[in-house]
Structures are given as structure tokens and as C-alpha cells.
Amino acid sequence: MEKLIKNPDFSDGEEILSEYLRRNFTVQVSGLCSVNYQGRAKSKLDRGERLVIKKQDSALLVHGPENYQPKNWQPEVDEWKVEAQEDELLLKARRKNPDEIVEIRFEDLEFLMVTQLVDSSDLKIRGHEVDIHESIEENP
């Protein structure tokens, strides 16, 4: 199952996100948004173009245009709330333990994508960085 919607309005965004965020799907949303986090600390991301990813294990990642590390993330979200307003789409992700909330306010939606990924393979690593350093030191 795959669904891609380009430039959805806030009402369509609310409908699709409400249906799929709580289920075992990977959901991606790209658009102009601001992000507020409140929990063990507080953080704020002013408006910018971001890619928001909800993974099938309920992890939430907020990425900017650079760097592989997310600007904000939650390892697991317990509750999702989506609300279309006149001038924005509000996405709230709440984690219960510890109590944390990420609020994402989209001013514009570029695309929504819903997929169900299948991956049963394990990562096999050869040549850890430490092994490479030791090898170079032993045989420069």
C-alpha cells in the first residue's frame, strides 16, 4: 500500500494523518512548519521547510534540509492528535513516560506519503572504524 498526495490542503492532511498515524505505517510529511517540544526540557524550531517522518514503530523524526541527525525526535509516540485549522495544520505527538509533547504547526504542506515498509534483513558490519585504525597503526 502506498499513497502520495502532493500539495494537500489542511483538511485532506488531517483526514489522512488521522487515519494512518496510529496504525502500522510509515508516514512522511514535507512542508513549511515550526516545532515546539516540551518535556524534560523545552525547545523551539522557528519556521522552516522540514521532513517529518513517523516510522512504523511509532518513532517521530523531524529533519531539516541538511545533516543526517534529526532536529527533533521522539523514540516512541503514545498519542497523536491532528487538527486542521484555517491557516495551519497542527500535529501533536505525545509520549506518556516521560511526559513529552512535540507540536508541529504546518503553514504549508508540500506532500504526504504513506507506505508500509518490509525489511527482515539484519545489518552485517565488517571493518569497524576501530579495526581500521588498529590495522593502520600496525601496518602504516
pLDDT tens for each residue of 12-41: 999 999 999 999 999 999 999 999 999 999
Question: Residue 71 gets which letter from DSSP?
Answer: S
28: Cβ–Cβ under 8 A, 6 or more apart, which residues? 51, 52, 53, 54, 111, 112, 113, 114, 115
Average pLDDT over residues 37-55: 97
Average pLDDT over residues 36-62: 97
Q: What is the pLDDT of residue 123?
A: 84
Number of domains in the chain: 1
CATH number at residue 31: 2.70.180.20
pLDDT tens for each residue of 112-121: 999 999 999 9
Which cell numbers hold the place of 130?
576501530
Strand partners, 87: none
Which cell numbers hold the place of 64?
531539516
pTM: 0.87
46: Cβ–Cβ under 8 A, 6 or more apart, which residues? 34
Q: What is the pLDDT of residue 124?
A: 82
Domain containing 55 equals 2-138
Largest CA distance in the chain: 66
